[in-house]
Structure 1
Amino acid sequence: MKQLVKTMAPRLQLEKAAWRWVESVKPEDIGQEHIELAYRISLPACKRGNCRRNCKGNPNCLVGIGEQTWLGEIDENAFHNIDDPNSERRDKNTFVGLTNLGATCYVNTFLQVWFHNLELRRSLYQCYNSRAQEHNTESDYEPQSICEHLQYLFALLQNSNRKYIDPSGLVKALGLDTGQQQDAQEFSKLFLSLLEDTLSKQKNPTLQNVIQQQFCGQFSYVTVCNECGRSSALPSRFYELELNIQGHKNLTECVTEFLKDEKLDGDNRYFCESCQSKQNATRRIRLHSLPPTLNLQLMRFVFDRQTGHKKKLNTYISFPEQLDMAPFFEVTKDQKCVYELSAVLIHRGISAYSGHYIAHVKDARTSDWYKFNDEEIERMEGKKLQLGTEEEIAETVKSQTRKPKCSKGYHCSRNAYMLVYKIQEEESLDPSKTIVQVPEFLQRLVDQDNHKFEEWCSEMSDMRKQSVDKGKAKHEEVKELYELLPARDGEPYEFIPLDWLKKWLDDSTATKKIDNLDFLCFHGKLHPDRVGDAKRVSQQAGQVLYERYGGGPRLDGSTLCQECVEQRCRVLRLKNQLNEDHKEVSNLVKRTVRNLCFKIS
């Protein structure tokens, strides 16, 4: 309220000053000088730097109405709200990001990891597509199945001109809820299973077992009866090793526990075929073979029996850049068992039901490490994986355990939930093996999308240029016209609405016609009560504004209304007289009361 009073006080003071002459001038004696006083024609104009804000009660104050934006040097970006379309363009020798559709960051991380598996990408491109063959010479083919969408998505990630692409086609085909974050590890299993089923139906025999050849390993559940010593083995296969991390400090401890002996006793005793009865036994997992791509799931999301919900374990785990699996199983002559780290999937956040997923992936061609964070991609310096900053960002609560020191060749994370290792090549990778050719039918789709993107860039650039050109023209117009606005003493002038002038200065592209209808009195002239909401400008400036923007009616010096001034004069004089009469009557009553009291006493 105090601020409102401070703001209105100068305007009220100007209002009183404009009509102070009515005390000594009768309505029939009003002259031109009194009319000009009422309309504040002769108030001194404010100079730039003297006013903190515009003096609304002074029609000659042209400071602080938006002119400061135009009178100095102006950045071209101020003339439009259209971003440079080239900022959406993929930089040379960089990868393509994926749009987060709401809660699909976990999908994006896996897609980037799978895309960088060159063998998987190459095999996926080779999948026979009958629908594509039917549209071999046409341009109306659109992906429909999950496999088709994945093919197209990988082709875009490889050859798109865009900085990032929209994976909504694949996400929709998978039937995923974009507003709800799913279990990332469960999604990985289901998707690989689905992809394996799709590839197994291919006519090309080399593609039928691609998923197994790349990701599938063999192990057995070996059970030994403590009574008779009989051993039985249940063969099984795996696509990832699920490693418990609770109570462990490094990856070796996690793998060791995964393979350790388990006692079967009590209610959990084993039925021995040889003994034909339940007996105490020992069970363990025995590894037989490992895949070229070894996925290690760090079980960060576990079921909490106390709460009945999943929780995230923020345990620090150390893992090597080079992993030797030889100590964990009997290695055959041709079995390769030395792996190199190729990807680390990170979950930011402390809850198992929320947070954000990103992926650190090693480029198979250059050995550079990249961080994939949906649309944003960052290349790590020095061809090294860097998780330090990531751990700091993810630190949302005070940890009870300090981050351990990592030896050279090791990394430590409390947020990694999946590690991907690739079998180490004995010799440097043949450059030809790193080249994955996009099939013609997919490249046509990519070319179509690139063409649409270039058209969009061209359209946005034209709109941006038009906006800039209009802004520059407006800039020159304002700089030139603002110098003409002040009305000099003795020269013709006009009144322009203050709100219109502000709009004219605020809008760099278009302004509506000048509308003065609300400023007219009953006599069709400028109402003296509205002069505080208008600005007096030179007639030359007014002429330019009306020629360019139109509108009206025009309010020049001839539209000062003498009848309204005379009427206001009568009202103010009557008010003053009533105030005087009220004071006189009040004093008379006070004197009478005092006299009566004196006589009574």
Structure 2
Amino acid sequence: MAPRLQLEKAAWQWAEMVKPEDITREHIELAYRVAVSACKRGACRRNCRGNPNCLVGIGEQSWLGEIDENAFHNIDDPNSERRDKNTFVGLTNLGATCYVNTFLQVWFHNLELRRALYRFQNSRAEGHNMDSDYEPRTICEHLQYLFALLQNSNRRYIDPSGLVKALGLDTGQQQDAQEFSKLFLSLLEDTLSKQKDPNLQNVIQQQFCGQFSYVTVCNKCGRESPLPSRFYELELNIQGHKNLTECVTEFLKEEKLDGDNRYYCESCQSKQNATRRIKLQSLPRTLNFQLMRFVFDRQSAHKKKLNTFISFPEVLDMGPFLGKEEKCTYELSAVLIHRGVSAYSGHYIAHVRDAHTNDWYKFNDEEIEKMEGKKLQLGIEEDIAETAKSQTRKPKCSKGYHCSRNAYMLVYKRQMEEIDQTETNVEVPAFLQKLVDQDNKKFEEWCNEMADMRKQSVDKGKAKHEEVKELYELLPAEDGQSYEFVPLEWLKKWLDDSTAIKEIDNKSRNIILRNIIHDLPYLFHFVQALGC
């Protein structure tokens, strides 16, 4: 017979022999199983129905086991927001601003640009009263302060909302990343050109601006007509190509001008067949290649993304493209990546090389990860919402080359024959460092405040834990001890810290003793009066 049925039979055996008028308190206590031994912890897996003295399996486990301090609060460890030693600082994604964050990290790692921005005359920052928060106004002020924070902040990541707001960007809508890069550099160049320092005036041109000419040659007289033009990046078609060299070669390829597209030659004073090509004149220190992954699809009348694999070298010799015998060597310094199959959505990530150590890092908004070993696959990021079946197999790459179907911009830095160690050291100016120190102080105060709140919650939780544990140990009623009826559900709610409970009115105890309630052992449990 099952234990529950055995208890049931033993509790009510007397009912067949005792007349109602002869029922005593002893009979009632026998029916209510008051004398049944209390269960011991470990002997029962769950609460015994039918034994009102069983106080096992009603929620006491969380109070009697080891203390988990995290259960007493919902405050994250403030130190998780602290920057780790020898790591970089991330940037908060404000909704759809990951494309901005990638460019900011790439530009921050351009040491010449960072050094130049630190020289930007900022009288507001230099004369700032430390009793209030510093609020930049112009684009250069925002970028200058942001770079100083990225360099010396104690925070794991910082908020770029000031700069984003100053640029008038919609944080909820993803913009054209390639267009943003052009417009921002143009805006920065215009602002810096008004500075008195000549090195500061020309820093954008020196770093990013190159020159080429559209050279048209008349087939009849051979007259050359060059049309010079500046560029901040070379926009390369990737359709039908496998590597960067093929893309650059096509960019410089000669085209024929004939038929309706003939060229008017001033020497011949008439339209003539001609050829036209782009001739590179000079290259900047930082050479940006825009891989045209987002193209207009005439059939759908919308932009689409090209997922073509393109291989690119870690070291690139641009000498042959300049028509020179001597080498013009560039080193890969950053790869900007778009994850996603659509041209209108997705996520932007940057792989950037640290100029000090030559180590590569993955910048993904707030998260930064060092890329080494098997993780050092530049330009490789899994696509969003793409099944394994739809993924094109990655072609094999030679040593010193990388291959990507998501890279949309490659950044190369000109290789210098002799590197001056001072060129890699960029110090934050004293007036900016004061502002960084002020922000670090605020951060430390916040950390201390969060730590205090966390400690108070833990101390309060521990005190309650000990109180409940002590009370629970007092609950079992031994033979001869006075006891109280407490509803089983009330006991469970009391042990469930998240449930608010009301006090119990046990004035009806004598009524219960005078009137036999068959289900009482299942609904109520007996606890020692002292525990109550």
Deviation at 1:185, TM superposition (A): 1.0
Aligned partner of 1:366 among 346, 352, 357 = 357
Q: Structure 2 CA distance, aligned partners of 1:140 and 1:82?
A: 26
Contact 1:259 1:286 in 2 (8 A): yes
1:414 alignment counterpart: 405
Letter in 1 for 2:420: D
Structure 2: distance between partners of 1:522 and 1:383: 73
Contact 2:340–2:383 under 8 Å retained in 1: no
Alignment of 1:489-528 (within 5 A): 489-507=479-497, 514-517=502-505
Indicate whether 1:348 and 2:339 are aligned: yes
Instruction: Give the letter aligned to residue 270 of structure 1.
Output: Y
Specify the code of the residue in structure 2 equivalent to 1:464. R
Q: How much does 1:278 deviate?
A: 3.5
For residues 120 and 530 of structure 1, what CA distance do their matches in structure 2 show? 81
1:423 aligns with 2:401: no
**Residue deviations 1:264-315 (CA, integer Å, cap 9, x gap):** 2333333333344433322111100000000111111111111111111111
Q: Which of 457, 460, 470 is the matching residue for 1:470? A: 460
TM-score by length of 1: 0.79
Distance in 2 (CA, whole Å) between partners of 1:352 and 1:244 is: 16
Residue 138 of structure 2 corresponds to 145
| Equivalent position of 1:453 in the other structure | 443
- Which is worse superposed, 164-173 or 382-391? 382-391
C-alpha distance in 1, partners of 2:500/2:266? 94
Q: Map 1:133-532 onto structure 2 (within 5 A).
A: 133-135=126-128, 139-331=132-324, 337-381=328-372, 385-387=376-378, 390=381, 396-399=387-390, 401-427=392-418, 429-507=419-497, 514-517=502-505, 532=522
Q: Taking structure 1 as reference, are residues 280 and 64 closer, same or farther at Cα in structure 2, changes over 3 Å only? A: farther
Change (3 A) 1:61 1:251: same
Secondary structure of 1:95's counterpart equals coil
- Describe the superposition over 1:230-268 as per-residue Cα deviations: whole angstroms up to 9, x where unpaired: 321111000001111111111100100010012223333
Largest Rg, 1 or 2: 1
TM-score (norm 2): 0.89
| One-letter amino acid of the structure 2 residue matched with residue 351 of structure 1 | S
Partner amino acid, structure 1, of 2:358: S
Asked if the contact 1:324–1:339 (Cα under 8 Å) also holds between the matched residues in 2, the reply is yes
Query: Whole-Å Cα distance in 2 between the matches of residues 145 and 40 of structure 1?
Result: 82
- 186-195 vs 66-75, which moves further: 66-75
**Structure 1 stretch 44-53 or stretch 383-392: which is displaced more?**
383-392
SS at 2:256 equivalent = strand
Q: Can you give the 5+ residue segments of structure 2 that lack an aligned partner in the other structure?
A: none
What are the Cα deviations for residues 477-511 of structure 1, in whole angstroms up to 9, with x where unaligned?
A: 3444333222223321123444553344343xx98
CA contact (8 A) 1:360 1:385 kept: no
Q: Distance in 2 between matches of 1:523 and 1:203?
A: 96
What is the distance in 1 between the residues matched to 2:165 and 2:131? Answer: 25
Listed one character per residue, the Cα deviations across residues 103-150 of structure 1 (whole Å, up to 9, x for unaligned) are 211111111000000111111111112333443676453112222211
Cα contact 1:350–1:396 (8 A) shared by 2: no
Residue 58 of structure 1: CA displacement? 4.9
1:94 aligns with 2:84: no
Give me the CA root mean square deviation: 3.3
In the alignment of these two chains, the number of paired residues is: 528
SS at match of 1:420: strand
C-alpha distance in 1, partners of 2:315/2:484? 83
Segments of 5+ residues of structure 1 without an aligned counterpart are 1-9, 543-601
Could you tell me how far 1:19 is from its partner in structure 2? 8.3
CA distance in 1 between counterparts of 2:217 and 2:169 reads 44
Q: Distance in 2 between matches of 1:196 and 1:435?
A: 24
| Distance change >3 Å, CA 419–CA 190, structure 1 → 2 | same
Tell me which amino acid in the other structure corresponds to 1:232.
Answer: S
Query: In 2, distance between residues paired with 1:121 and 1:15?
Result: 84
Q: Percent identity?
A: 81
CA distance in 2, matches of 1:57, 1:197: 85
Tell me which amino acid in the other structure corresponds to 2:504. N
Q: Say whether the 8 Å CA contact 1:394–1:415 is kept in structure 2.
A: no
List per-residue Cα deviations over 1:5-36 (Å, max 9, x = no partner).
xxxxx999999998898787776554324543
Change beyond 3 A, Cα 1:33–1:446: same
